[in-house]
Amino acid sequence: MIMARPVQYHTKVKVGKIPEGYTGQGFFATSFDKAVGLARKNSLWPLPFATSCCGIEFMALMGSHYDLARFGAERVGFSPRQCDLLMVMGTIAKKMGPVLREVYLQMAEPRWVMAVGACAASGGIFDSYPVLQGIDQVIPVDVYVPGCPPRPEGIIDGFMKVQELVGQESLRRRNSDRYKELLATYGIQ
Ligand code: SF4
C-alpha cells in the first residue's frame, strides 16, 4: 500500500526586511527611494540569454524545486524592453558579442547584468580565439557567479546579491556620474 506523504508546513516564514524608517503607533514612514528599492528588488524580470550548458541549470532554477518565483522573479521575458535583469549563461563566441551588446542596449534603465558560470564570466575552459573571454569585454556586469556549471543554489546566491544591489541603488541610477563613467568606458552613452 502506498502511503501519502505527510504535508509539511514551514512554521518559520521569513518576512521581507523592512527598510529603515520611522515607526509609531499605527504608522511606518520611510523615504521614497527605499520603498522603490524594496519593490524593484522583489519584482525583477529576468531575460535569460542562455547559449549552452549553464542554461540547463537555469531551467532547474525555474522549476518547482529551486523555484526562482519565491524571489518575485518568475516572470521571465524574452523582450529586452520588458526586462531589467540580463542573465547571461553559457559560452559567448566573439561573433555573439555584438548580439549580446545589442540586447543589453535595448533594455531600458534601470538594468542589471549577471554573468552566470565560468564561460560568461571569463571564457571558462575555452581559452581559444573564437570565444569571448568574459562578457564584461562588451557590457558592464554587476554580479559574477562562479562554477562550471554553477549549481542552482549558486545562481540563487548571485541573484540575491543582485537584489541587495537593486535595493540600495539610487532611483536615478542612470544619472549618477559613476554610472555614466562606467558606460562611457564601453562606448555607451
Ligand atoms: S561554464 Fe561550464 S557548464 Fe557553463 S556553459 Fe561554460 S562549459 Fe558549460
- Among 54, 59, 88, 114, name the best residue to mutate to test ligand 1's pocket (greatest count of ligand atoms within 8 A of Cβ): 54
Q: How far is the CA of 166 from the centre of ligand 1 (A)?
A: 27
pTM, full prediction? 0.88
Query: Cβ atoms within 10 A of the Cβ of 182, count?
Result: 12
Q: Which single residue is written with the C-alpha cell 540547463?
A: 56
Ligand 1 is surrounded, with C-beta below 6 A, by 52-54, 90-91, 117-119, 124-125, 148-149
The residue contributing the CA closest to ligand 1 atom 5 is 90
Nearest-atom index, ligand 1, CA of 118: 1
CA–CA separation, 166 and 148 (whole Å):
26
- Cα separation, 106 vs 100, whole angstroms: 10
What the block records as the C-alpha cell of 172 is 536615478
Residue ID of nearest Cα to ligand 1 atom 7: 148
- 145 C-alpha vs ligand 1 centroid, how far in Å? 12
Top mutation candidate among 59, 91, 125 for ligand 1, by most atoms within 8 Å of CB: 91
Cα(52) to centroid of ligand 1, in Å? 7
β-partners of residue 85 are 46, 112
Instruction: For residues 48 and 125, give the distance between their C-alpha atoms in angstroms, rounded to a whole number.
Output: 22
Domains, the chain, in order of start with CATH, read 45-166 (3.40.50.12280)
Please give the chain's pLDDT, 189 residues, in tens.
666 666 666 666 666 677 888 888 988 899 999 999 999 999 999 999 999 999 999 999 999 999 999 999 989 999 999 999 999 999 999 999 999 999 999 999 999 999 999 999 999 999 999 999 999 999 999 999 999 999 999 999 999 999 999 998 888 888 889 999 999 999 987
